[in-house]
Amino acid sequence: MAMVTTLFFMWGFLTCLNDILIPHLKATFDLSYAKALLIQFSFFGAYFVFALPSGKLIEWFGYQKAMVGGLLTMGLGALLFVPAASAPSFPLFLTALIILAAGITILQVSANPYVAVLGPERTASSRLNLTQAFNSLGTTLAPWFGSLLILSGAPAALDVIRKMPPDQLHAYRLEQASSVKLPYLGLAIALFLLGLVIAKFKLPVIASVEPHGKVHDSIWKYPRLLMGAIGIFVYVGAEVGIGSLLINYMSEPNIGNISLQLAAKFVSLYWGGAMLGRFLGSWVLRKVRTGTVLGFSALAAFLLVAISMWSFGHLAVGSILLVGLFNSTMFPSIFTLSIEGLGPLTGKGSALLICAIVGGAIIPELQGVLADHIGIHHAFILSALCYLYIAAFAFKSNKPHSEAPAHS
């Protein structure tokens, strides 16, 4: 449990660094919101492409070897940030992010269900909340790390950038982009080393979910799993959509009116709330039904987003940051409710749920388009609607699981 928890920390840290890359590369390459959010589109789009093949990897090699493969792929993706910054090239950054996300996808498909079944089924949500809390520790530390090392140099004003001759513009972009080299090189080395440690570590084999040959059953027979996949899609979309725009949102004159570097540090409060909520949630979910906790959290998040959209100043900033606290239990709760009773199909069911993380690519991109057209303040309407669906899924799932189809 402790060893697998380190994986949750690493992918949380790397995922949250995207929130720093968005304003940094937006300023460096003079991008619109829609183009800057291609960072999240490329990153989370990789989940859709690689999740089902990752399920096959588990089927062929088992959970532990899949985790090692995921870490090594992540290390390669992080390493590619160095040539992307040396170019400097926005498409190369996107390519590096896709490879990094492919590795995280393999890790998510293997580690999430592994933790869920590493003990009694009734405490699966509690256990996954605890490991996800360390994922949130990574997302809490990443904005501070990124603000110090990546956003340390203030970008030039857009009107100044647009007047630069081509040679000066290239030199400026090279200087700005170079700030990502050292952080991602260090992360690549850490990922390769962690991959070697996991390869040498003896993880227990869980007979009830480890695949033994071909399973002649279909995940499409499980309606709760399918509804849960939509729940993961909208949850990740809402959480990432908010996190991606927070720095620019809080720097708006009528909202936070603060610098990008200071706003990046405030993003730690958003993810820190998720970390605190997951530690608390791990305890609460031992006493309260998962669906009840999930439904309450989703309704609270909806109300907070609505308050932020229709207010200004400290209230707008405080309410949107507080959403992180209520996001905390959503992913592990949706995940465990969805894979309950899948048995040998757990790996395939997990792959479908991780595939649904593509919501983190599509919803933020749509939110970026909305921000370009109706303003960043009211673009959060999309996240608010996502939380309403999650509340509906929670209360519908807050019943004893119906008899599952027999495995054959």
pLDDT by position in tens, the chain (length 408): 777 788 888 888 888 888 888 888 888 888 888 898 899 899 988 888 998 888 788 778 877 888 899 999 999 999 999 999 898 889 999 999 999 999 998 888 887 777 766 666 667 677 777 787 787 788 888 888 887 777 766 566 666 777 778 888 788 788 877 888 888 999 999 999 999 988 888 766 655 455 555 555 677 888 889 999 999 999 999 998 998 889 889 988 888 888 877 888 888 888 888 888 888 887 888 888 888 999 999 999 999 999 999 999 889 999 999 999 999 889 888 988 888 777 777 777 888 888 898 898 899 989 989 999 998 899 999 999 999 999 999 988 776 544 444 333
Give CA–CA dist 130/3, Å, rounded.
13
Residues 308 and 319: beta-carbon distance below 8 Å: yes
**407 located within any domain:** no
pTM above 0.75, yes or no: no
For the chain, what is the domain count? 1
- Interatomic CA distance for residues 380 and 92, integer angstroms: 29
pLDDT at 405: 44
130 class by beta-carbon count within 10 Å (0-12 exposed, 13-18 middle, 19+ buried): buried
The reported pLDDT for the residue numbered 308 is: 94
Return the pLDDT at 242.
92
Question: Which conformational region is residue 3 in: left (phi greater than 0), alpha (psi within -120 to 50 degrees), or beta?
Answer: alpha
List, for residues 181-209, the tens digit of each pLDDT value. Answer: 888 999 999 999 999 988 888 766 655 45
- Decide if 404 is inside a domain: no
Residue with token string 């390493």: 79
pLDDT of residue 294: 93
pLDDT at 329: 86
* Domain range for 369: 2-204+218-397
Residue 171 has, within 13 A of its CA and on its CB side, a CA count of: 5
How far is residue 134's CA from residue 272's CA, in Å, rounded to a whole number?
A: 10
Helix (H) and strand (E) counts in the chain: 18, 0
Give the torsion sign (CA, 388, 389, 394, 399): positive
CA end-to-end span of the chain: 30
The answer as to whether 268 is a domain residue is: yes
Whether 165 is covered by a domain: the verdict is yes
Condensed to tens digits (0 to 9), the pLDDT of residues 64-111 reads: 888 899 999 999 999 999 999 898 889 999 999 999 999 998 888 887
| Any domain includes 78 | yes
> What pLDDT is stored for residue 96 in this prediction?
94
CATH number of the domain encompassing residue 51: 1.20.1250.20
Give SS3 for 26.
helix
List Cβ neighbours of 272 (8 Å cut-off, separation of 6 or more). Answer: 136, 140, 324
Query: What angle separates helix 63-79 from helix 2-29, to the nearest 10 degrees?
Result: 30
| DSSP-assigned letters across all residues of 202-233 | -PPP-TTTS--S-----GGG-HHHHHHHHHHH
* Structural domain includes residue 8: yes
